Structure 1
Amino acid sequence: MKLSNKFIIIIGILTMMTMPCKAQKWEHLADTPQMGWSTWNKFQGNISEDIIKGIADVMVETGLRDAGYTYINIDDCWHGKRDADGFIQADPIKFPNGIKAVADYVHSKGLKLGIYSDAGSATCAGRPGSLGHEYQDAIQYARWGVDYLKYDWCNTTNVNPQGAYQLISDALRSAGRPIFLSMCEWGNSQPWKWAREIGHSWRTTPDIWCHFDSLRVFPGYTQFGVMQCIQFNDSLRQYAGKGYWNDPDMLEVGNGMTENEDRAHFTMWCMMASPLILGNDLRNMSEATRNIIMNKEMIAINQDTLGIQGLHYCDRDGLQFWFKPLAGGDWAFTIFNPTQNNIVCELNWQDFNFIDSQVSKMSTAFNTNIYKVYNLWTHKMEGKTNLKNKIVRKVTVKSRDVVSYRLIK
């Protein structure tokens, strides 16, 4: 039996009235950071049903799906108008068969579909926002088979962020379909302090743009380069964990930076346990881009089941030294060179004896433990750590690049 829109509205209202004031978000959708692809960085508003289906095909053919990239997210500009009952419809030119048909196609490929809306009266691109239609929109997404919602923060004058995100979280829960909630208010209200039970990830930074180390300033807002995103995100590790992740925005790998910069960008997102949402045209990517985003051993660092964001341990001679505790007692260790010069590092493991007292309570204990050293980018073993207090190796870290190891206990 097909239910009318008006009847569905009544069901939604009755459900809302009988639910607790604060429903918990859907659990176990984000035990590890989400992985997928989004339209925005490459296509922005120039999206279509054919592009989404083409990306779905490529994600399967290239092995990206099997590497863990499961979401295909349609960002801003998919919206058409609301119908007579207030239910949002897809743009009839860009999506002539509707979102349900796209979701069915994506699901047939073993992938999941994400969609976008905004807590305000209009989206950032001026399409209809969800303000005043939260439960209707959640019902519509569930009917369409949507699996992920990115919820933005434009046109939100006098809207309370904590209340707005709690409202859409409750609405998604009441609609009955497990939907991942990606909060995107750019960290303005410090959601890491209050959103753990509301959303599955929250943006910690303004929007990223395809540049390694500079700001892009517009009237009223500023975009961050890769370095600025890292700097804003790296002090928030105590707020991230299984089910709730700090999000320094989507990946720009393959969109115009150098190979070194792309590799550093991807590595640092993995070290920070950040969402890995690709933003390049997967149908036309170089072999270098493919090798970066398909590095399954680096992805394993991001997706490690311990669920700990990496620690920016110290800086020395222009280099940053990062550690990420892993399940089973291993560590990921990255030497990050954000400068424009190659730097030779004299590496002494005894310089890095510490206990991660803030989050994991794990100790590197290089003075008592010997680890096998596996290079995550050359895919080669490079010996073992040493118990003696002496320099054991020299490492060259190229400009705007990384050297990354898995230290295997």
Structure 2
Amino acid sequence: MGWNSWNTFATDIDEKLVMDTADLFVTLGLKDAGYEYIVLDDGWMAKERDENGNMVADPQKFPNGMKALADYVHDKGLKFGLYSCAGSKTCAGYPGSRGHEYQDARSFASWEVDFLKYDWCNTENLNAQGAYETMRDALAKAGRPILFSICEWGNNQPWEWAENVGHMWRVSGDITNCWDCEVDHGGWSSWGVWKIINMRENIRYAAGPDHWNDLDMMEVGNGMAVAEDRSHFAMWCIMASPLILGNDLRIANTKTIETLTNSEVIAVSQDPLGIQGFRVSNKDSVEIWAKPLFNDAWAMTFVNMSDKVLELHYDWHDGVVEDKLNDLKLEIGTHRYTIKDLFQHKKLGDTSRKLEATLDQHDVLMVLLEKKEEP
């Protein structure tokens, strides 16, 4: 859980932005909600390495250097992250780590970096698994625990090999702030929320504690409707994706912060079983997803995919909710479950009756189901 600069700021970043963001993590309640990493993406480094081949911070953007900035973030009780790239240059044209992996890892460790996002631009003829293993080994050799975020966009099926290489791996190209669109940049595309959700439907087996399918930084607060932001956040939690903010916290409104700091929804994301959720059904313009949780509980989302208000009438006995991968089943036939609406924070009875709700366009009903103690 954390924040990354790219979605909103691209390379227009500086020391004050990081310090302001760290301050806001505390004052807006994000730290208390569990967010901890402040990650600078592409563009923090100078255009050239120094005379010894070391990567250095841009002196105009970061006059006090990375160690001082990391110290500031750490003093807030938070963690600090940086970006690099497996290629000769980063995606924005700054020095990459190719050929400097061990040197750069030592620099990151000396600056007390806690998180490394490692991109995949300008990687001519490199083998993806080998390149990421090289940086993994370099980080280990440097001797500082650093969360390793693999960002090769899912092109080389990292879910097949990255569990012992990194802690999280991107499954798609870059996200963009729309519901279900593709933005063609000529040679590559940005993807809307539901495009990413639907892109990799069969890789949930690869996710688990300390090794996650990463659906990219979130676009909550970046221009979509409030209902769409809620659905976006709920689905990232159901799918056990890392929760990395991508908005400008300095201008975030109350609704955005309310969504992002919802402790009951976050608890679904952070459930200790670490199981990625799955689609139960998709009919009549409603997507239903489920996620098994600790202590025989379940979370479910009901998302209105249409552009009109829908009335939901869900019969718990109509069909089976079953996680065949983990041999877990919602035991409606033998147990009643209490139902709680996690966004409205209210109880909705139990599974002995149909679930009735009104769903605004692109909005979500997210519920927690817990086994009811029988008298």
TM-score above 0.5: yes
Residue 332 (structure 2) pairs with residue 366 (structure 1): yes
- Give, as a single letter, the amino acid of the residue that structure 2 aligns with 1:232: M
Residue 333 (structure 2) pairs with residue 397 (structure 1): no
Which residue in 2 is equivalent to 1:254?
221
Residue 299 (structure 2) pairs with residue 332 (structure 1): yes
Which residue in 1 is equivalent to 2:343?
377
Are the equivalent residues in 1 in contact too, given 2:280–2:321 (CA < 8 A)?
A: no
Which residue in 2 is equivalent to 1:238?
205
Which residue in 1 is equivalent to 2:309?
342
Q: Distance in 2 between matches of 1:200 and 1:89?
A: 26
- Give, as a single letter, the amino acid of the residue that structure 2 aligns with 1:292: T
Which residue in 1 is equivalent to 2:105?
138
Are the equivalent residues in 2 in contact too, given 1:353–1:367 (CA < 8 A)?
A: no
* Match of residue 59, structure 1, among 9, 21, 25: 25
Secondary structure at 1:383's aligned position in 2?
strand
Secondary structure at 2:117's aligned position in 1?
strand
Residue 90 (structure 2) pairs with residue 123 (structure 1): yes
Which residue in 2 is equivalent to 1:165?
132
- Structure 1 pair 73–176 and aligned structure 2 pair: CA distance change class (3 A): same
Gaps of 5+ in 2: none
Which residue in 2 is equivalent to 1:113?
80
Are the equivalent residues in 1 in contact too, given 2:54–2:104 (CA < 8 A)?
A: yes
Residue 156 (structure 2) pairs with residue 189 (structure 1): yes
Q: Distance in 2 between matches of 1:330 and 1:263?
A: 22
* Match of residue 49, structure 2, among 53, 76, 82: 82
Are the equivalent residues in 2 in contact too, given 1:234–1:272 (CA < 8 A)?
A: no
* Match of residue 306, structure 1, among 273, 281, 287: 273
Q: Distance in 1 between matches of 2:74 and 2:177?
A: 30
Are the equivalent residues in 2 in contact too, given 1:56–1:106 (CA < 8 A)?
A: yes
Shift of residue 353, structure 1, vs aligned partner: 2.7
Which residue in 1 is equivalent to 2:237?
270
Q: Distance in 2 between matches of 1:206 and 1:319?
A: 26
Which residue in 2 is equivalent to 1:296?
263
Which residue in 1 is equivalent to 2:191?
224
Residue 35 (structure 2) pairs with residue 69 (structure 1): yes
Q: Distance in 2 between matches of 1:366 and 1:263?
A: 27
Q: Distance in 2 between matches of 1:235 and 1:314?
A: 15
Are the equivalent residues in 2 in contact too, given 1:202–1:246 (CA < 8 A)?
A: yes
Shift of residue 284, structure 1, vs aligned partner: 1.3
Which residue in 2 is equivalent to 1:42?
8
Q: Distance in 2 between matches of 1:111 and 1:245?
A: 21
Secondary structure at 1:90's aligned position in 2?
coil
Secondary structure at 2:323's aligned position in 1?
coil
Q: Distance in 2 between matches of 1:300 and 1:352?
A: 27
Are the equivalent residues in 1 in contact too, given 2:66–2:111 (CA < 8 A)?
A: yes
User: 1:345-399 CA deviation, whole Å, 9 max, x = no partner?
Assistant: 21100124343121x221101111111100001000111111xxxx624222221
Q: Distance in 1 between matches of 2:27 and 2:262?
A: 16
- Give, as a single letter, the amino acid of the residue that structure 2 aligns with 1:240: A
Q: Distance in 2 between matches of 1:184 and 1:127?
A: 16
Are the equivalent residues in 2 in contact too, given 1:352–1:366 (CA < 8 A)?
A: no
Are the equivalent residues in 2 in contact too, given 1:211–1:225 (CA < 8 A)?
A: yes
Are the equivalent residues in 1 in contact too, given 2:120–2:151 (CA < 8 A)?
A: yes
Are the equivalent residues in 1 in contact too, given 2:316–2:355 (CA < 8 A)?
A: no
Are the equivalent residues in 2 in contact too, given 1:233–1:248 (CA < 8 A)?
A: no
Q: Distance in 2 between matches of 1:324 and 1:52?
A: 34
Secondary structure at 1:196's aligned position in 2?
helix
- Give, as a single letter, the amino acid of the residue that structure 1 aligns with 2:76: K
TM-score of the superposed pair, with normalisation by structure 1: 0.89
> Aligned pairs, how many?
370
User: 1:278-303 CA deviation, whole Å, 9 max, x = no partner?
Assistant: 01111111111011001010000000
Q: Distance in 2 between matches of 1:65 and 1:407?
A: 27
Q: Distance in 2 between matches of 1:157 and 1:70?
A: 34
- Give, as a single letter, the amino acid of the residue that structure 1 aligns with 2:182: L
Which residue in 1 is equivalent to 2:178?
211
Gaps of 5+ in 1: 1-34
Higher relative contact order (CA 8 A, sep 6+): 1
Are the equivalent residues in 2 in contact too, given 1:352–1:364 (CA < 8 A)?
A: no
User: 1:91-146 CA deviation, whole Å, 9 max, x = no partner?
Assistant: 00000000000000000000000100000000000000000000000000000000
Q: Distance in 1 between matches of 2:160 and 2:104?
A: 27
- Give, as a single letter, the amino acid of the residue that structure 1 aligns with 2:336: I
